[in-house]
Structure 1
Amino acid sequence: MAPSLLRSSSLLVLVPLLLAAAPAPKAPAPPRLEDTLPDTFSGVERVVAVGDVHGDVDALKEVLRLAGIIDAKDRWIGGKTHLVQTGDIPDRGDQTRAAFDLLMRLEQEALAAGGRVHALLGNHEAMNMLGDLRYVSPGEMASFADQSPEADSAGSPPGLNGHRVAYSLQGRYGQWLRRHAAVVRINDTLFVHGGVAPGVPGTDLSALNRWVRQDFFPGQPPGGARNPQGPLWFRGYALGEEQEAGPALDAVLQRYGARRMVMGHTTNRDGKVKVRFNGKALLIDTGLSTGYGRNLAALELRGGKVNALYREGPVTLATVETPAAAPRPAAPKPRKK
């Protein structure tokens, strides 16, 4: 046999042996529950907060322009402003994916300008990640179809497989959401979707946020994303009687070193920002999306003032007064001799 043929036949025998001996490729590591995420920010000159979007990216853009956050081409012009979106981007509207994409891009543009975008977790983000699709509109579902190469089975809603992949821990939107906080403190204000109840576990925001996010990760104990008393669901400060809920709110604010709490989740049917507990609670879900009336409103905290921003102009809201120092007792007058 010619030498070249001998070499070829030897290689044909050797290659399968080498492949058999080679270790199997490692499966990708499962997503890890991050212990800490950025949750506390100080020295911020201007904060703008916007409530529930519910799949209406056009309303979101309009209110961001109203607040001077984006320009006519949807680019960040907010400078060092911190924008807080208090959750519930998805469900009930067809433009959820576009709203996610807008905020994902603005995150990067804001960082480059010295600002920040905080897209907080809401109960509807959690529902989609956990497979509760009760409020997903048909158009919204269909918009995720390209996120999976697998065709939807007969009889299932168009886009179902793509939606599942998109919201998975490794999916485009699930991966983004699982790295976001449920609660942040900026200067002296807590921002959250529903509200921070006094019974939540953990002594700091890091522990609280981890408790919420652990529901998304297999093998973790039950957390706060499903819990009705968790910060994505709690409505005690929106609906509770002030005399009963006031002490609980005071305790939570003291626990986290804050002066007030800003919340979405519970829609104010008059389309206005609602002030409760002498300014310690601000409710900013004004029904932004078209399905809720397209009531454009944002909250602005700047220079010690709290303003509601509306189409007709800003309105200064009641602020939490810092208790004045108790006056010193007057020195006793000298007794007459």
Structure 2
Amino acid sequence: MTPEDRFPGPEHPDSGPRHQPDLDVLPYGTYYEPEPTGYAEAAYESETYSGYGGARWLEQHWPAGGHDPQGQAQHGQHDHQAQAQAQAAQHGGHTPQAAHPGYEPTLVDHPSPAHGGEDPPTIELGPPLPEPGVPYHPYPAPAPNEPPGPLYVVGDVHGYLDELLAELRHQGLIDADGHWAAGRSRIWFLGDFTDRGPDGIGVIDLVMQLAAEAAAAGGYCRALMGNHELLFLGAAKYGDEPVQSTAGTASFLAAWRLNGGQQHDLDRLEAHHISWLSRLPAIGLEDGHLLLHSDTTAYLEYGDSIAEVNDAVHDLLADEGVDEWWDCFRRFTKRFAFRGDGGPMAVHELLDTYGGTRIVHGHSPIPYLTGAVHADDGQPPHIPGPYVYADDLAVAMDGGVTMEGRLLIARLPI
């Protein structure tokens, strides 16, 4: 049974090819593993690089100061910005709906050691305001004809804040204090900030902080709307309100719990988080890369252009009811559309509609996509890097951090 089969309900015939629920039928593809640079090769060979242990190891051994991918150190300039951002994060007064005692959840996104789930978001923020009495020193603006900085994508984070910080440091995108150190670089998070891991709100706060710091540096940090953003926001907005499901009476709150929802994230969710998450786009296009959270063609059901899709999702979240929201969540939880013989055709359908020459997505953990999760030796899956498949037309970026894989960050193109 594939993860999407855990969401029984009415099928949408135009939402992409539905592959056989057999993870032993593997797509033809290869791993992309960049040459280690600026970091000890032992870190790539060590078993401790997987999951919690790898991030802890990186954090303990990564030298203070980091590395700027453009060769320009930018450390020490961000402290007042981060403090101002943290101060702004204190505002907002959203009170999440309480869980109904004794409610039995009925839906699961995909199997994992504890629960299951998928997807992430993006919005551009201005530079943070300085604290009173602290002078503000903006980064120099780029020259009019200066080319854009390097482009990076980040796979599903799912609340693993320490792992995210460690990998961002390793890539030279933040400094030792967790502030933007990437100059005019561009970063896209592919969705699924919360659920399963220990600190989803901490992840959201970090991305919001980096978005402000990147904008001040002449770069940007953006994110996509993942299915777990839809689920998390739905749990906060609708709680135990029933939704139409052929699996029986269910609710967003019940599904969120089964898919790894963490109560402490819901307790800390504030109005400014909701506003930011609700405005994240569903699709992005950057340097010929069509950026999606989910490996599904369900996006085609919301419009024939990127702007139409993003507007449709935003309008739905703003005005529609619980059943429409639930249907959107279910559609973007579908997966595996780019696997198998029909995979390249599904990719071309999206590229022909929205543009670009290659799809980059998260959502489906590479260990499930390739069948590596079925290893018989009891060891965590070995994920050397992003997975390129579907005749080299698709790049999978969910390294399976929730199953002791890796949190992947990659520079495009690969």
When the two structures are superposed, what TM-score results if normalisation uses the length of structure 1?
Answer: 0.63
Match of 1:191 among 266, 291, 311: 291
How many Å separate the matches in 1 of 2:345 and 2:260? 40
How many Å separate the matches in 2 of 1:298 and 1:74? 16
Equivalenced residue count is: 235
8 Å contact kept, 2:160–2:198: yes
Match of 1:141 among 263, 266, 276: 263
Match of 1:182 among 279, 282, 301: 282
Give CA-to-partner distance per residue, 1:147-194, whole Å, 9 cap, x none. Answer: 5xxxxxxxxxxxxxxx4xx3xxxx121111111111100110011110
SS, match of residue 279 in structure 1: coil
Q: Which residue of 2 aligns with 1:211?
A: 312
Q: State the shift of 1:196 in Å.
A: 5.0
The amino acid across from 1:286 in the alignment is G
Q: Larger relative CO (CA 8 A, sep 6+): 1 or 2?
A: 2
Match of 2:362 among 251, 256, 264: 264
Q: Which residue of 1 aligns with 2:302?
A: 201
**Identity %, equivalent residues:** 26
Q: 1:185 to 1:225 in 2, by over 3 A?
A: farther
Match of 1:65 among 169, 186, 204: 169
8 Å contact kept, 1:69–1:77: yes
Match of 2:391 among 274, 278, 293: 278
How many Å separate the matches in 1 of 2:317 and 2:302? 17
Structure with a larger share of its residues in strand: 1
Corresponding position: 1:123 with 2:123: no
8 Å contact kept, 1:44–1:186: no
Q: 1:143 to 1:188 in 2, by over 3 A?
A: closer
How many Å separate the matches in 2 of 1:111 and 1:80? 8
SS, match of residue 93 in structure 1: coil
How many Å separate the matches in 2 of 1:64 and 1:228? 29
8 Å contact kept, 1:123–1:225: no
SS, match of residue 184 in structure 2: coil
Q: 1:217 to 1:261 in 2, by over 3 A?
A: same
Give CA-to-partner distance per residue, 1:46-103, whole Å, 9 cap, x none. Answer: 1111111111100111111122110111010111111111111100122111111100
Q: 1:281 to 1:237 in 2, by over 3 A?
A: farther
The amino acid across from 1:216 in the alignment is L
Q: State the shift of 1:275 in Å.
A: 0.7
8 Å contact kept, 1:213–1:224: no
Task: List gaps (5 residues or longer) in structure 2.
Answer: 1-122, 125-146, 236-251, 368-381
Q: 1:85 to 1:216 in 2, by over 3 A?
A: same
